[in-house]
Structure 1
Amino acid sequence: MVEFALGHAWLVPLLPALSFIIIVFLTRPWAKLSSVVSIAAIFSSFLLASSIAYGVFTNPEYIEKPLVYSLRWFGMEGFNVNVGVMIDPTSTMMLFMVTMVATLIQIYSTGYMDGDPQYSTFFAYLSLFAAAMLGLVISSNLLQMFIMWELVGLCSFLLIGFYTFKISAREAAKKAFMTTRVGDFGLLLGLLFLQIKFGTLDLVELAVRVPMFEQFGVSLALLTIIGLLVFIGPIGKSGQFPLHVWLPDAMEGPTPVSALIHAATMVVAGVYLVGRTLFLFTEVPGAMEVVAFIGAFTALFAATIAITQREIKRILAYSTVSQLGYMMLALGVGSLAASMFHLWTHAFFKALMFLAAGSVIHALHHKSDVWEMGGLIKKMPITGWTFVIGGLAIAGIPPFAGFWSKDEILLVTWQYATHGHSLGYVLFLMATITAFLTAFYMWRLIFLAFFGKEKEENHPHENPWNMTMPLVVLAVLATVGGLLGTPWANIWGEWIHFGPAHHGDPVYWLMVLSVVLALAGISLAYHLYYKDEEKQRAKELSERYRVLYNLSYNKYYIDEAYQWFTRTVVDASARVTYWFDINVVDRIVDGTAAFARISGEGMRYFQTGRLQTYALVFFLAILVITVVLAFGSPSTAGILGGVK
């Protein structure tokens, strides 16, 4: 089975792609059958991915050297592209994680979407979404990856705007699609530069050629530009500042979509791409600093927004933006292991919290304001306690998964600072403040929604097994999923790394600092939102610091700034362009056409197309010339020229 899976890894994305085709063309009229087909396909992919993971992680050869097999796709003189599969520890981890989380989300969806008139269509989109992400993960070249990258974007558009009857959903889908297109344009330019300068987009070949960039006539400045262009794509896809604005609005889609986008597919694609092309970024320290700073700034920036939001999924959305910033920070300081480790643990606790939030919204008949909740843990114990586990994990409380991965990022950032990078201390400070804020805003949500007084107008109830079972599984994974990366086990660093294998020793003062920051954030949330039953202290603080509160609550008015820019600059330039087109370009074109028409009308008297007319003109011309030559003065030329 293992050898079959390693040799047929292309089946992992193909199976959900086939389920999409089957649902669209065959089973769409039968909703339950469509869900069975979709779940069976993704679960089969999970089994294959599990076999691949066993084969890779028990074979040292595959850990150190990727397994690559490909076929020629198309080619011409000087340009050949293969379609292929690359299996290594990083792609194997992603295959396992994506298929497992997608399977649980699809099982959950059978309960959440029950009775929806577009039930079959929803599962078709989920299958295509999973297929696109899995195809991206195993791609052996950047062109193939870019195609899957765009398909992921299309699926997100379809699923965010799934409720087409809602204007907000349609607008959110367009916003996501257009914002990520800005990033994708930069990525496409970067890929074109790589192909032109290095003659290939194959990841293995690029990893060999890019470090020798000077031999290919590429200067360090140009390589820096290429790296930054490539990074623009992940900025858009992974919701980094300033292209983060689409991600919170993506909450307009059904909650299982939010879980899939935020935990296992679209937003982690950008992190994965930077990790895959880290051989490019490590050659240009300037680009690495940009990646690290944008990651750290995004982490802190999004966390300061999350502390004032009211909608449960919007809080989680800004949490995702912040955690993605952590992953980018780790890549920027050169640690693929730390970044992928946090991506791994984040997938479990963030999928858990989104699905639990969906369970709450479903039970409260689509009520999503955490201030209108309270005491839910009594009536929804499975949902409530699993969400608490997710909150402990993301806050960084040991032994939950998030503690180990977040601590690893703080460690590599500190090492980056102590190795002579002055920016490193700023990055470390931003990361530690973010850790405190993360614990605070997440436990603010937990205390407001699940503890405290029950709201009499609410009548919550626990959801059926197909919605609670995935929560329990994810809660277990959020508890033990980080044990692979403990400093004592050190399994993760041996498996997934860029350059030499990572052998991390425990840094106890940093662990203590991490826990203290988490406990401080939870304690502050406890005093403001649980111990003070009337929440008077929190309300007083929001009034005292009204300007800061409004900035945070209104997301620093970034959306409004973009709208102003669109209406004043883009629309104004469009009006000027329109006026120039109508009054200048069109008149030049119309004038040219009028000249051609008038001259044509004049010429038609000389170009009749009749032979007898041409013969008559020819005869008259000869007659005139004969008369002039016979009876004219010696100065015939003068007469012909009109000179006396």
Structure 2
Amino acid sequence: MILFCISLFFPLLSFIIAGIFSHSSKNLFIGLFCSLLMIVSATASLMLTASLSVDEPLNLTLKEFINLGSLDLSFSFYLDAISLVMLSTVGVVASIVHIYSIGYMRDDASFNRFFSYLGLFVFCMNVLVSSDNFIGLFIGWEGVGLCSWLLIGFWYKRPSANVAANEAFVMNRVADLAMLVGIFYIFYSFGSLKFSEVFNARSDLSGLNLGIIATLLFIGAMGKSAQFPFHTWLANAMEGPTPVSALIHAATMVTAGVYLVIRANFIFANVPEVLHFIACLGAFVAIFAASIALVHNDLKKIVAYSTLSQLGYMFVAAGLGAYKIALFHLVTHAFFKSLLFLCAGNVMHAMNDELNIKKMGGLYKFMKPTALLSIVASCALAGFYPFAGFFSKDKILEVAFSKDQILWVVLLFGAVFTAFYSFRLVMLVFFARPKSEEHAHEAKNYMLVGMSVLGVLSVISGFFWSNFSEFLGASLGDFKLNLSHSSEIFLLVLTLGLVLASAGFAVFAYKKEIFKESICESKIYKILQNAYFIPKFYEKFFINGYALISKICKKFDEMIVDKSVDFVALLVTKFAYLANKMQSGDLSVMLRFMVAGFALLLSFIFLLNGAK
């Protein structure tokens, strides 16, 4: 109980303390204190994970919330293996991001406010992954959405940051509406919103109702995890500070959708059609995003599209029923992806916020530690042995091969693309011919130490698959692959061989500069460079359409509503002016009006009597 309260509420305490001083001048002590609180919170989560029996999940109730008829909700939490894995992952990554942010944000006037937002972000994510009911999950869900808006638009004086923050917020609200309707439908169907009661009663509901619930919940997951067609906000979210990108795209917001599918697996497992759609959409997004990253030149957006692609792999695993493997890839991905973003932050600082990788090159000479850590993260992302990504991604490919070989082919191409763009980035940034005369500088030592922890985890975490699978056994059950040992060896060798060949080609191509500038004029290059023109399509048909409707409504309000109200006011004014003429102050005139009025009144009375 005490360990969980420390894990849950220390990030909230960080938010409150930093928030109190948010308008004060920057104070490094605030960053140090908030980082200490986050480290203690992460340590408590790890201790809780090590000490708790996964066969007997812990139920904690802090306070009654709503007790109205059959609706009985409280601030209660359910700590099973899934929750503990998520709490630990979020805690570790958030702690390192906090330490890194002390150096990265040290010259920012809103230093204190930044740490306040980070604390609230982590608290909301902890609520999301540990709540024992759908309302608590939704509160945390909306909380991380709010915090992402605050952090993406952190530099609110930049118009582009405001646009990106609003895009993320609005697009997620559209998907969240479907999720909220799904939660209402769950209560209507089951009479409860507690996970234990809903999942145990799942067999009492028709397949159609379960299908509606699963579809609505997954639409919510699509928005939060930026799955097509809700994907456009993710790349634009790079307008926020780089540590925010590391947190959003590694351990918090975008993984919430995957967590929802894993947590509600008892519902999804009874609707195979929805699961199949999840797997197909995930495979499409995996290769769709990877293809865009092949040609993109924006450093952070390349990493963002790689996140989108890896989320697709997670959804494929979840859609095929391999929930353990999906969660395993979520964890390993959190380590190497956050490391990749932090390396990108070092490069940005060294290059005075330059993001175009074609304007970089030769940075290995000045930034050897960052270059080595980038190579580690890229190897893990590409899926090289013995890095963490090799183990988790290979498991997903094995599942796809055993369940649906079309999905396997798509994911295999995605893996080849991933290896290419990962080492394209490394080569153009660190080893290509220098394109700038500026002399880069390395990050602070304490920033590199924190990043080194992620580097170690990016290497060793994959070796703990057996322990991880055993730990999750009671919560997610067993998933058996129908593959022979020889098939597994064949898949492993084939995948690793193709990935190595793809990465090797990228190294050779960009070392020898075999790609000419004329390639940028090709149609396929322009299509990929513009993300298949989907953002422009949205802008033309949705944003511009909405703007046109808004202008029409504005004109209607001005020409019809406002003028009709003004006309009534004008009539009243005119009548009052005419009536005022009657009040001349002349007694004889007033007596004449009185007599005339009295005569009219008598005439009216006589007319009424005559009618009778």
For normalisation by structure 1, the TM-score amounts to 0.85
- Once the two structures are TM-superposed, the CA of residue 207 in structure 1 deviates from its matched residue by 0.9
Match of 1:484 among 448, 452, 464: 464
Pick aligned residue for 1:197 from 189, 194, 198: 189
1:448 counterpart = 2:424:
no
Where does 1:487-502 land on structure 2 (aligned, <5 Å)? 490-496=466-472, 499-502=476-479
TM superposition shift of 1:453: 2.4
Correspondent of 2:534 among 539, 552, 558: 558
* 1:30 to 1:306, Cα distance in 2 relative to 1, 3 A: closer
1:523-602 alignment, distance < 5 Å: 523-530=504-511, 532=512, 535-543=513-521, 546-577=522-553
Q: Match of 1:613?
A: none
Q: 1:26 Cα deviation (Å)?
A: 5.0
CA contact (8 A) 1:164 1:170 kept: yes
Relative to structure 1, the CA distance from residue 581 to residue 110 in structure 2 (aligned partners, 3 Å threshold; closer, same or farther) is closer
Q: 1:107 to 1:585 in 2, by over 3 A?
A: same
2:148 alignment partner in structure 1 = 156
SS at match of 1:459: coil
1:15 paired to 2:15: no
1:141 corresponds to: 133
Matched, 1:41 2:37: yes
Secondary structure of the 1:10 match is helix
Give the superposition deviation at 1:363: 1.3
Q: Which whole-Å CA distance do the structure 2 matches of 1:294 and 1:166 have between them?
A: 34
Indicate conservation of the 8 Å contact 1:528/1:538, yes or no: no
* Deviates most, 512-521 or 340-349: 512-521
Partners of 1:362 and 1:625 lie apart in 2 by 94
Shift of 1:480: 0.4
Q: Aligned partners of 1:111, 1:581: CA distance in 2, in Å?
A: 51
* Contact map agreement 1:198 1:209 (CA 8 A) in 2: yes
Residues 211 and 280 in structure 1, CA contact (< 8 A), matched pair in contact too:
no
Report 1:93-492 matches (<5 A): 93-214=85-206, 220-417=207-404, 425-455=405-435, 457-485=437-465, 490-492=466-468
* Counterpart-to-counterpart distance in 2, 1:176 and 1:557: 18
Give yes or no for contact 1:494–1:503 (8 Å, CA) kept in 2: no
SS of corresponding position for 1:61: coil
User: Does the 8 Å contact 1:370/1:449 carry over to 2?
Assistant: yes
Higher mean alpha-carbon deviation, 311-320 vs 456-465, is at 456-465
In structure 2, distance between residues paired with 1:303 and 1:446? 16
What is the one-letter code of the residue matched to 2:34?
S
Return the offset for 1:577. Answer: 4.9
Cα pair distance change 1:101/1:581, threshold 3 Å: same
Question: Match for 1:11: what amino acid?
Answer: I
Q: Does 1:55 align with 2:51?
A: yes
CA RMSD of aligned residues (A): 3.0
Partner in structure 1 of residue 28 of structure 2:
32
* 1:604 alignment partner in structure 2: none
What's the offset of the Cα at 1:72? 2.1
How far has the Cα of 1:539 moved from its partner? 3.5
Shift of 1:195: 1.2
Compared CA separation, residues 187 and 210, structure 1 to 2 (3 A)? same
What is the rounded CA distance, in whole Å, between the counterparts of 1:236 and 1:314 in structure 2? 18
Cα offset, 1:590, TM superposition: 9.8
CA distance in 2, matches of 1:461, 1:91: 40
Report the Cα distance in structure 1 between the residues aligned to 2:259 and 2:516, rounded to whole angstroms: 39
* Cα separation, 2, equivalents of 1:226 and 1:550: 40
The equivalent residue for 1:607 is none
Distance 1:593 1:273, change over 3 A: farther
- Of the structure 1 ranges 585-594 and 275-284, higher mean CA displacement relative to structure 2 is found in 585-594
Shift of 1:187: 0.9
Could you tell me how far apart the structure 1 residues matched to 2:336 and 2:528 are?
A: 25
Residue type of the alignment partner of 2:478: A
Q: Return the letter of the residue paired with 1:230.
A: L
> Mean alpha-carbon deviation: is it higher for 514-523 or for 552-561?
514-523
Secondary structure of 1:454's partner?
Answer: coil
Identical amino acids, percent of aligned pairs: 37
Mapped to 1, the partners of 2:115 and 2:373 lie a distance apart of: 25
Distance in 1, Cα, partners of 2:259 & 2:572: 59
Asked if 1:511 corresponds to 2:492, the answer is yes
Provide Cα deviations, 1:509-553, integer angstroms capped at 9, x if missing partner.
1111220221122022123212x1xx243545444xx11100000
Relative distance call for 1:361 and 1:499 in structure 2 (3 A) is closer
Q: Give 1:393 deviation, angstroms.
A: 0.6
Residue 447 of structure 1, CA deviation: 1.0
Judge conservation of contact 1:262–1:320 (CA < 8 Å) in 2. yes
For 1:78 and 1:397, locate their aligned partners in 2 and report how far apart those are by CA, in whole Å.
Answer: 53
Q: Offset of 1:300 from its aligned partner?
A: 0.9
**Kept in 2: contact 1:484–1:491 (CA 8 A):** yes
Q: 1:290 to 1:165 in 2, by over 3 A?
A: same
The answer to which of 248-257 and 496-505 deviates more is 496-505
Local SS of the residue matching 1:140? coil
Q: Distance in 2 between matches of 1:260 and 1:36?
A: 18
- Specify the code of the residue in structure 1 equivalent to 2:510: Y
Residue identity in the other structure for 2:502: G
* Residues 360 and 436 in structure 2, CA contact (< 8 A), matched pair in contact too: no
Task: State which structure, 1 or 2, has the greater radius of gyration over its C-alpha atoms.
Answer: 1
Q: Look up the match of 1:77.
A: 69
1:25 and 1:548, CA in 2 relative to 1: closer, same or farther beyond 3 A? same
In the alignment, is the contact (CA less than 8 A) between 1:493 and 1:503 conserved in 2?
no
Give the secondary structure class of the aligned counterpart of 2:249: helix
Q: Distance in 1 between matches of 2:260 and 2:395?
A: 21
Contact 1:184 1:233 in 2 (8 A): yes
Listed one character per residue, the Cα deviations across residues 456-507 of structure 1 (whole Å, up to 9, x for unaligned) are: 513112221122111211111000011111xxxx222222256532466862
Shift of 1:299: 0.9
Aligned to 1:610: none
Partner SS state of residue 537, structure 1: coil
- The answer to whether the 8 Å contact 2:54/2:80 transfers is no
Query: Does 321-330 or 407-416 show the bigger shift?
Result: 407-416
Q: How big is the shift at 1:209?
A: 1.5
CA drift of 1:106 comes to 0.7
Offset of residue 414 of structure 1: 1.9
Ranges in structure 1 where 5+ consecutive residues have no aligned partner: 215-219, 418-424, 599-615, 629-638
Is residue 258–residue 315 contact of structure 2 (8 Å, CA) maintained in 1?
yes
Question: SS at 1:263's partner residue?
Answer: coil
Q: Does the 8 Å contact 2:6/2:40 carry over to 1?
A: no
- Compared CA separation, residues 509 and 196, structure 1 to 2 (3 A): same
